[in-house]
Amino acid sequence: MIERFRTLAAILTVVAVIVVVWYAFAVVLNSRWEYDQAARAGVQIGLPELIERTLAQDRPMLPAPHQVLAGLWEGVTRYAPTSRRNLVYHAGVTLSATLAGFALGAAAGLLLAVGIVHSRAMDMSVMPWAIASQTIPILAIAPMVIVVLASLGIKGLLPKALIAAYLSFFPVLVGMVKGLRAPDGMQLDLLRTWNASRATTLFKLRLPASLPYLFASLKVGIASALVGTIVAELPAGATMGLGARLLSGSYYGQTIQIWSALFAAAILAAVLVAAVGAVERLVLKRMGLAR
Amino acid sequence: MSWQGWAAIAFWIAATMLNCHIANRWYRSRWARPFVATLFGVTLLVLWEGLVRGLNVSPVILPAPTVIAARFAQSLPLLWGDFTQTILKGALSGYLIGCGAAVLVAILVDRSPFLRRGLLPVGNFIAALPIVGIAPILVMWFGFDWQSKAAVVVVMVFFPVLINMVAGLAATDPLQRDLMRTYSATGRQSLLYLCLPAAMPFLFNGLKIATTLALIGAIVAEFFGSPTRGMGFRISTAVGQLDLPLVWAEIAVAALAGSGFFGLMTLIEKAVTFWHPSQRAAGRGA
Amino acid sequence: QDVKLQLKWVTQAQFAGYYVAKDKGFYEEEGLSVEIMPGGPDIAPTQVMAGGGADVTVDWLPSALAAREKGLPLVNIAQPFKSSGMMLTCLAETGITGPEDFRGKTLGVWFGGNEYPFLSWMATLKIPTDGSPEGVTVLKQGFNVDPLLQKQAACISTMTYNEYWQVIDAGIKPEELVTFKYEDEGVATLEDGLYVMEDKLADPAFKEKMVKFVRASMKGWKYAEENPDEAADIVLENDETGAQTEEHQKRMMGEIAKLTAGSNGALDPADYERTVKILLAGGSDPVISKAPEGAYTLEVTDEALK
Amino acid sequence: MTAAPVIDIANLDLVFQTNDGPVQALKDVNLRIGKGDFVSFIGPSGCGKTTLLRCIAALETPTSGRLTVCGISADEARKARSYGYVFQAAGLYPWRTIAGNIRLPLEIMGYTRAEQQDRVQKVLSLVELEAFGRKYPWQLSGGMQQRASIARALAFDADILLMDEPFGALDEIVRDHLNEELLKLWRRTQKTIAFVTHSIPEAVYLSTKIVVMSPRPGRIAEVIESPLPRGDRPLSIRESREFLDIAHRVREGLRAGHAYD
Amino acid sequence: MTAAPVIDIANLDLVFQTNDGPVQALKDVNLRIGKGDFVSFIGPSGCGKTTLLRCIAALETPTSGRLTVCGISADEARKARSYGYVFQAAGLYPWRTIAGNIRLPLEIMGYTRAEQQDRVQKVLSLVELEAFGRKYPWQLSGGMQQRASIARALAFDADILLMDEPFGALDEIVRDHLNEELLKLWRRTQKTIAFVTHSIPEAVYLSTKIVVMSPRPGRIAEVIESPLPRGDRPLSIRESREFLDIAHRVREGLRAGHAYD
Ligand SMILES: Nc1ncnc2c1ncn2[C@@H]1O[C@H](COP(=O)(O)OP(=O)(O)OP(=O)(O)O)[C@@H](O)[C@H]1O
Ligand SMILES: Nc1ncnc2c1ncn2[C@@H]1O[C@H](COP(=O)(O)OP(=O)(O)OP(=O)(O)O)[C@@H](O)[C@H]1O
Ligand SMILES: Cc1ncc(C[n+]2csc(CCO)c2C)c(N)n1
Ligand SMILES: [Mg+2]
Ligand SMILES: [Mg+2]
């Protein structure tokens, strides 16, 4: 109970500091526009007036926190959740593709890692090319990929999920290759003396020992999957999802809309990462590793 | 499918068998690893070439590797210019700043229970802002040139490095921590002598993931405004001009640079974490 | 009969004619079922066509001709837009009064197939675009008008129906701006036309389908011109992002109507020749190297408008 | 020792490559161990006892020499699950309870659930940890962890038991008790046991054969056959003349391998 | 025992909370250790010896009771760097060489570079690992790792040495040698030493005071003051009448804590 309270207090303090800094930045960044406007109108502008105006611009360079909150609130409550104008609707679209992509990506990363740890041929050949695959700026060619997939008749959620998977499999792969190799010599030797099969070694030793690595990489992986989905949503006809919201906000210079979509995305990411964290705690607790 | 396609598939099967053979028989020799990796890559390229030719894929959808190679050779100065702009200026500076900041914040978070409680969740939240949303804003703030790309890279690499580093700093075993307590080591000392070394395997995990993210970040950020050079700029304009060979030449540059970068980090990792069980062949645990 | 239409950009009044035709049942009357696919910043309609992802696309003539030279045989079958809405919008305070003043300045330009008109214009003016002091520095302009508002560029590309109004909405008064319409500078190129693949067009059944499609689309366009407010509403209804505003779309529809006004859908070969001439004038690095053959056909519109 | 050799080692060498040059851990080791022998290895710290045991268990590959187990290679014997190994450090898996750790080899070797349960209970009480089956390793004292790891090796039926200082962290009384129990088990099951220890009385009390090693490089200095009866050995035998004689011989052998005194 | 108590423990209780209910590790422990005392703790495995040492070093917080060290709290004493601790497991850092591990506390406590060098050499040769300074922990045998961890605790000048079965993995001869060296060091430096062992002779040979503990819950069963001279104790003293008497008393005390025999 006290722990909870302390955590909350700490978070609130940090948030408060950030909000104050944010307001200060908003005033500074947005003031140039106000000065320009004043100069164009040929008038002088005082500090209180400046602050008031910088925090209430329509297209601020940096919207003030309350503007973003208002934008979020409006996006969520103004229309029915099934309406295209509702942020929750778009978040839902993005979420489904993210989860599908993450599931695909994490599974692929895990399987590849298992393969790499067990097969020397795979270790030698796949790993360098898995790395090279990530250096292909998939985000840069996502539009092309979407177009090519569409021409193959793959449309809707799947292309987005594929791009999300492409981004999320890599952190899982790298983390798990390390994690599966983390058991030390003695732990492995023990199983060797019992002539445990590779599968047994995997399930009884390598997997449990790799859990800290697994969860660290799953957290990165799910965040990457979200980024992938959002990027894939930009060109996928730019219709639905948080990515499309970001884009149209961008297109019309609606900074407040951009920031609300951005925060919606971040909230989604935070929820997803927290969900992975909750699973982690649960698993570690059940395994007696949470000390 | 015409004969080229079948030939490529035959080559693929043969090469894979050769690879397995070498990996199982000759794995002790120095040349095995690079050889197997190269052969695997060559196989992919041959397969690609064969299928593109065999299936008559339109060059504006997917050009063949030979066509890409020709375009690559022909536009070296252009590619070099884009490379300097995007990778040397944008990605590298952003990577250094971003990873440095993440390590520092991770240390702060690990040192201070207050920050661990307060900053970590908030930091996670902020770092989870998607790059495509941030890029336009950062371009707006930092201008069109490489500085804004570096800023995007900073934001992008921060989260993975932070998460891994925090996990790493916590990955010391209780006995090792107790030892530090009996020395009444100061916070700085246990950090320097215990937590930092113990965190290295995790840190490098993050640093390696971050190398590829840095490239992606720098390239994608150029979509949201850039001078008329840079890899992202070139890719997006070349797609518009249906100059797909140039697009793929740029991608090849990115892949080469990225693999080189990653390889470099792997070498450093080997040198720094030689003691970790994953880096030693066999041992009996320390 | 199914028709897939790929737009050049996101759902907005620029494409009102097609949405109206669909909404008012004009396509249905012709026995067509039309799927309208919005575009986006990094969607090259030409590439979608190459991949077989659409039957017909809305694109600009320069981009279509460039693609044709790259080996993608696109053919213009109709041209609902008579005049060009493209212009360069500059801040008056930069001291720019005429094209010669561009030298030494930074200009924002759209790429991804939209840069050809600009490059041709600069070539006719003999202004290098390499960033040298006597030339201009070119920025790849992002999605919006921020570069002008943030003074990162002296001028940016705008469309009469869209970005220009965003600048005005941002609080800058028209008298603080200097605009250069491509139309007025004599470098106008044909915009939003309908394009299909040449080999498909050889199939009489497909051609028949396109005739119906163009007929219904033009009916939509004319309806939109006469009922701009209703057209804007229809566009808004079809916007899946839910981000467009009514005010902006109504105004856009008004401006669009001015551009479509002079066209019954048929391409005017004179306009075509002018565009080709401008594109060929591109100095050392022209957009197209020789006058293309068979890049347009009047057969479809002749049939459709009978 | 008339039985056919179960473990047959000839001219065994082992060199470790380290950052700091090669280390010769074993040099020219020759040894035959018969079926049902109880062989103790004793020698100064770092002389290669662990390394030799690891070679027998096919965990280390000798640089040269021949090593067969039951006529087949050590690695094949390993695959036939001939070994139970107690490591020098307990090496319990932290994510399993004590009972879970002991059950692990049984699960791997496919014992039925009921039998697993049964055996775990039996060995837990053998090492007097009945009350600790549901605890995790870090909740146990050092000696208790070591006992758990002994229990783990005794839980299943291996023909050959390799034990690396299993009783090092135990007090005299538990140690005596476990010594007796181990002897009983050995007599009952006719296992072949290779046993590393630092305690001379323990080595003499338990073994049919004592191998004294000397360090750098690790060699076999002496092999002492015990004249003590294979059958019943009460603890009181430790006061007998013969016992003290052998102990003395072992001590002298050991001392020869040390630099001082 | 005329010296003022360095370690003063009164009514100490410690209960661990586990998934499986609370475990009472220490119950009503009372003990005073004077300056310069050499106190051995002996008792069955799991009786709380390690836990008690950890309490003294302020690594564990007692559930109730009082514990002062030199008149201040254990935690303050820890902060004043009064302790050298040898853990039951070696606990060397795998990323440092053996010499690096021994140098670690010296670096932390700010010794000069020359002195670090000097001390590392001295303790390395004390535990006979001169040739292994540049090796990494996993390249050493179990006993060598344990010796390295002893060297690490001896390298710096702590007033109080806490040693948890430091010689458990060593053979008799090295053990005797290190026993002698430890006694010499103790006499020279007048350190206060708390020492856990399972060897009755070792406890009697080294100590001025032997604490016999009994298990579940861990209590002090008996405290035996040694009548042996504080000064010179040759190894041969182990055959003396007095020595054997005390050893007998300790054994009886120990046996009382065990269920069997
Ligand atoms: N972290 C812990 N959590 C729960 N119980 C613990 C923990 N540490 C020790 N115990 C329990 O406390 C008791 C005393 O343990 P301790 O390690 O002090 O024994 P010990 O006397 O050092 O034994 P040994 O000679 O085997 O090392 C044991 O029953 C053990 O199970
Ligand atoms: N993995 C390794 N790499 C390098 N050297 C090693 C390795 N393992 C052991 N050695 C060396 O081999 C020698 C023998 O080690 P081993 O562990 O067999 O000794 P031991 O007889 O078991 O000693 P102890 O009684 O202390 O356990 C030692 O000198 C040690 O340093
Ligand atoms: C990256 C990019 N940014 C802006 C535009 C601008 N734009 C929006 S609509 C339109 C007219 C096309 O019908 C144009 C030019 C673009 N195309 N691509
Ligand atoms: Mg050993
Ligand atoms: Mg203990």
CATH number of D7-82+160-260: 3.40.50.300
Distances (CA, A) of B252 to A97, A135, A169, B47, B75: 29, 9, 21, 17, 13
**Are C240 and A239 in contact (CB < 8 Å)?**
yes
Measuring from atom 3 of ligand 2, which residue has the nearest CA?
E139
Pocket test for ligand 2, best of E140, E150, E173 (most atoms within 8 A of CB): E140
ipTM: 0.77
On whether both B167 and B26 belong to a single domain, the answer is no
Residues 205-244 on A with a CB inside 8 Å of D are 205, 208-209, 211
Give CA–CA dist B164/A172, Å, rounded: 12
Neighboring chain B residues of C114 at a CB cutoff of 8 Å: 240
Q: Which whole number is the average pLDDT over E72-90? A: 84
3-class DSSP state of C105: coil
Residue closest via CA to ligand 1's atom 12 equals E25
Residue of B nearest to A138 (CA): B216
Specify the residue for token string 């033009």.
Answer: C218
Token pair recorded at residue B248: 């793929």
**What kind and span of H or E run contains C91?**
strand C86-91
Question: Using a 6 Å cutoff on CB, does residue E139 contact ligand 2?
Answer: yes
Judged by phi (left if over 0) then psi (alpha if -120 to 50, else beta), residue E217 lies in beta
What 3-state class would DSSP assign to E84?
strand
The predicted-structure confidence for D131-160, as pLDDT tens digits, reads as follows: 888 888 888 888 888 889 889 888 888 888
Question: Which chain D residues are closer than 8 Å to A194 by Cβ?
Answer: 81, 83, 105, 108-109, 156
- What's the pLDDT band for D260 if we cut at 50, 70, 90? very low
Residue B284, pLDDT > 50, answer no
Judged by DSSP in three states, E128 sits in coil
Quick check: D94 and A289 CB within 8 A?
yes
Q: What is the pLDDT of residue E1?
A: 44
Beta bridge partners of C108: C139, C156
Cβ atoms of C86 and C117 within 8 Å: the answer is yes
Instruction: Please tell me which of the candidates A33, A59, A143 has its beta carbon nearest to residue C42.
Output: A143
Beta bridge partners of E219: E214
- For residue E3, what pLDDT is reported? 53
pLDDT at residue A46 is higher than 50: yes
* Amino acid present at A79: Y
Mean residue pLDDT across chain C: 85
The ranges of chain E annotated as CATH 3.40.50.300 are 7-82+160-260
Query: Is residue B29's pLDDT more than 50?
Result: yes
> Cα(D216) to centroid of ligand 4, in Å?
14
Same domain, B100 and B170: yes
CB–CB of C141 and B243 under 8 A? Answer: no
**What is the pLDDT, as a whole number, of residue E186?**
86
Given ligand 1 and candidates D97, D127, D144, which is best to mutate, with the most ligand atoms within 8 Å of its CB? Answer: D144
Check pLDDT > 90 for residue D237: no
Q: Quick check: D91 and B285 CB within 8 A?
A: yes
pLDDT, tens only, A90-99: 888 889 989 9
Question: D243 CA to chain B: closest CA distance, Å?
Answer: 35
Q: Which residues have CB under 6 Å of ligand 1?
A: D 138-144, 169; E 16, 18, 23, 25, 43, 45-51, 88, 218
- Beta bridge partners, E34, equal E5
Tokens 């796949």 belong to residue: A126
Cβ–Cβ below 8 Å for B184 and E78: yes
Beta-carbon contacts of residue B101 (< 8 Å; ≥ 6 apart): B154, B158
Counting as contact any 3 or more CB pairs under 8 A, the partners of D are A, B, E
Other beta carbons less than 10 A from residue D201's beta carbon: 18
Q: What is the 3-state secondary structure (H, E, C) of chain A?
A: CHHHHHHHHHHHHHHHHHHHHHHHHHHHHHHHHHHHHHHHHCCCCCHHHHHHHHCCCCCCCCCCHHHHHHHHHHHHHCCCCCCCCCHHHHHHHHHHHHHHHHHHHHHHHHHHHHHHHHCHHHHHHHHHHHHHHHHCCHHHHHHHHHHHHHHCCCCCHHHHHHHHHHHHHHHHHHHHHHHHCCCCHHHHHHHHHCCCCHHHHHHHHHHHHHHHHHHHHHHHHHHHHHHHHHHHHCCCCCCCCHHHHHHHHHHCCCHHHHHHHHHHHHHHHHHHHHHHHHHHHHHHHHCCCCC
The answer to whether C and E touch (≥3 CB pairs < 8 Å) is no
How does pLDDT run across A123-163, given as a tens digit for each residue? 777 777 787 787 777 766 777 777 777 777 777 788 888 88
**CA–CA separation, A168 vs A166, rounded Å?**
6
Q: Say what the pLDDT of residue E230 is.
A: 78
Q: Say whether the D–C interface has 3 or more Cβ pairs within 8 Å.
A: no
- The candidate with the shortest Cα–Cα distance to E235, out of E198, E206, E194, is E206
What value does the mean pLDDT take over residues D2-30? 82
Q: What is the pLDDT of residue B281?
A: 53
Same domain, B18 and B143: no
**Per-residue pLDDT tens digits for E237-246:** 777 888 888 8
| Contact by Cβ (8 Å): D115, D107 | no
Residue E2 has pLDDT above 60, yes or no: no
Whole-number Å distance, alpha carbon D116 to ligand 2 midpoint, is 35
On chain D, the residues whose CB falls within 8 A of the CB of B286 are: none
The size of the A-D interface in CB pairs under 8 A is 56
pLDDT score for A109? 92
pLDDT over 70 at C46, yes or no: yes
The tens digit of pLDDT for each residue in D52-103 reads 998 998 888 888 888 888 888 888 888 888 888 888 887 788 878 899 889 8
Q: What's the average model confidence in pLDDT over E121-143?
A: 88
**pLDDT tens digits for range A168-227:** 888 899 888 888 888 877 777 777 777 777 887 888 788 888 888 888 889 888 988 888
* Number of folded domains that form chain B: 2
Residues B213 and B279 in one domain: yes
Q: How many CB pairs under 8 A join D and E?
A: 124
Q: What is the pLDDT of residue A139?
A: 66
Closest C-alpha to C80, from C267, C305, C228: C267
Pick from A62, A191, A193, A227 the residue to mutate for testing the B interface (most B CBs within 10 Å).
Answer: A227
pLDDT of residue E148: 92
- Average pLDDT (E52-73) is 88
Does domain A87-286 match CATH 1.10.3720.10? yes
Ligand 2: residue whose CA is nearest its atom 7? E139
Mean pLDDT of B19-33: 73
Q: What percentage of chain A reaches a pLDDT higher than 90?
A: 6
Residues 124-153 of D with CB under 8 A from E: 128, 134-136, 139-144, 147
What is the rounded CA–CA span in Å between residue C3 and residue C19?
A: 14
What band does A102 get if pLDDT is binned at 50, 70 and 90? Answer: very high
Cβ neighbours of A134 in B, within 8 Å:
212, 216, 258
Of E89, E171, E255, the CB nearest to D173: E255
Closest listed ligand to the CA of D219:
2
In this predicted structure, the answer to whether residue B286 has a pLDDT above a threshold of 50 is no
Q: Which atom of ligand 3 is nearest to the CA of C85?
A: 11
pLDDT tens readout for residues C131-157 = 788 888 888 887 778 888 878 888 999
- Asked whether residue B62 is domain-assigned, the answer is no
Q: How far is D122 from chain E (nearest CA, A)?
A: 17
Residues B107 and B27 in one domain: no
Q: How confident is the model at residue B283 (pLDDT cuts 50, 70, 90)?
A: very low
From D253's Cα to the closest Cα of chain B, the distance in A is: 29
Residue nearest to atom 14 of ligand 1 (CA): E48
3-state secondary structure B185-241: CCHHHHHHHHHHHHHHHHHHHHHHHHHHHHHHHHHHHHHHCEECCCHHHHHHHHHHC
Q: Give the one of D20, D48, D49 whose C-beta lies nearest to E134's C-beta.
A: D20
Select from B242, B243, B244, B246 the residue whose CB has the most chain C CBs within 10 Å, as the one to mutate to test that interface.
B242
Enter the DSSP assignment of B87: I
- Containing domain of residue B49, as a range? 3-57
How far does the centroid of ligand 4 lie from the alpha carbon of residue D199, in Å?
14
For residue B54, the distance in angstroms to the closest alpha carbon of chain E comes to: 54
The first and second tokens of residue A225, run together, are 């999957």
Angle between helix E142-154 and E113-126 (nearest 10): 140
Q: How confident is the model at residue E261 (pLDDT cuts 50, 70, 90)?
A: very low
Tell me the percentage of chain B whose pLDDT exceeds 90.
Answer: 10
pTM confidence score: 0.80
Q: Nearest C-alpha to atom 23 of ligand 1 is from which residue?
A: E46
Residue type, C79: Q
Residue from E86, E141, E261 to probe the interface with D (highest D Cβ count within 10 Å): E141
- Nearest CB to A193 within list D78, D89, D93: D78
Neighboring chains of B (3 or more beta-carbon pairs < 8 A): A, C, D, E
Instruction: Please state, rounded to an integer, the average pLDDT across all residues of chain E.
Output: 85
- Least distant ligand from the CA of C189: 3
Distance CA(E42)–CA(E50), nearest Å, equals: 11
Is pLDDT at D3 greater than 70 in this prediction? no
Instruction: Specify the pLDDT at position C284.
Output: 59
Q: Which ligand sits closest to the CA of E197?
A: 1
pLDDT, tens digit, 9 for 90 and up, residues A103-122: 999 999 999 999 988 887 77
Across C42-78, b (16+ Cβ under 10 Å) vs e yields: bbbbbbbbbbbbbbbbbbbbbbbbbbbebebbbbbbb
Please tell me the predicted confidence (pLDDT) of residue B98.
93
pLDDT at D1 over 50: no
Q: What pLDDT sits at residue A22? A: 87
**Residue whose CA lies nearest to ligand 3 atom number 1:** C41
Confidence check: pLDDT of B96 > 90: yes
pLDDT at B175 (0 to 100): 74
The verdict on a CB contact (< 8 Å) between C140 and B58 is: no
